[in-house]
A and B are shown apart, each in its own frame.
Chain A
Amino acid sequence: DAGVIQSPRHEVTEMGQEVTLRCKPISGHNSLFWYRQTMMRGLELLIYFNNNVPIDDSGMPEDRFSAKMPNASFSTLKIQPSEPRDSAVYFCASRKDFQPQHFGDGTRLSIL
């Protein structure tokens, strides 16, 4: 079975540019999560969708960050404009009901 698929795996861009991270959850999963991982703050939940509806976006750091889930098989996390402090590894995870979360391989984002 295919796991959670994230793209790109690495992204390097200049400050001020728009960045779009993509996630395809496992088929049949009804919850999707976006996390950010940094050395200083560890693994932080940014936003969480249930049945394609955003449930909790209290972890989204600023208005520069936005996330969408237009259908059950696709989600995006967008940063516009990007800043060097946004450099981190971004994970997407999905889950079915009360089962454990399955994580993608993450996107390593570097903002120069």
Chain B
Amino acid sequence: AQTVTQSQPEMSVQEAETVTLSCTYDTSENNYYLFWYKQPPSRQMILVIRQEAYKQQNATENRFSVNFQKAAKSFSLKISDSQLGDTAMYFCASSRDSGAGSYQLTFGKGTKLSVIP
């Protein structure tokens, strides 16, 4: 079975500082996607960033970037210039082929990030 592990249940960071959230995954797929989703207290699940495994270049979205280490099956999220609105649960997810030319996601248990003023 595919697994996604987030080893940090909770983290905190000072406003304007940088924080890195860890994620490792286990997959036998040759091609797959990796995702970070954010869930603020409002409960919405918001896509933060996506990485395609066949792309060596790390994905970036404004203050959010990833460090994708394919051989190590590691996919960490770096948040630069942390803002109070970044306070949320962060979920790492990997895709697995479900046939019929599609895929589904396996999620980690999440990391609760608190940004401190």
Contacts and interface: CB of A to CB of B under 8 A. Distances in A.
Contact of A43 (B44, B46, B99, B107): B107
28 contacts: A31-B102, A33-B104, A42-B107, A42-B108, A43-B91, A43-B107, A43-B110, A45-B104, A48-B98, A50-B102, A55-B98, A55-B99, A55-B102, A56-B98, A89-B43, A91-B45, A97-B102, A98-B102, A100-B35, A100-B50, A101-B47, A101-B105, A103-B45, A103-B46, A105-B42, A105-B43, A106-B44, A106-B45
Interface residues of B, number: 23
Contacts, number: 46
Chain A, interface size: which category? 20 to 34
A106 B43 contact: yes
Nearest to B107: A43
Nearest to B52: A98
Given A43-B110, A50-B102, A106-B44, 7 more contacts: A42-B108, A55-B99, A56-B104, A93-B45, A100-B35, A100-B47, A101-B105
Contacts of B46: 103
Contact of A105 (B44, B91, B100, B107): B44
A98 B103 contact: yes
A56 B50 CA distance: 23
Contacts of B100: 50, 55
Nearest to A31: B102
Interface in A1-50: 31, 33, 42-43, 45, 48, 50
Interface in B85-117: 91, 98-100, 102-110
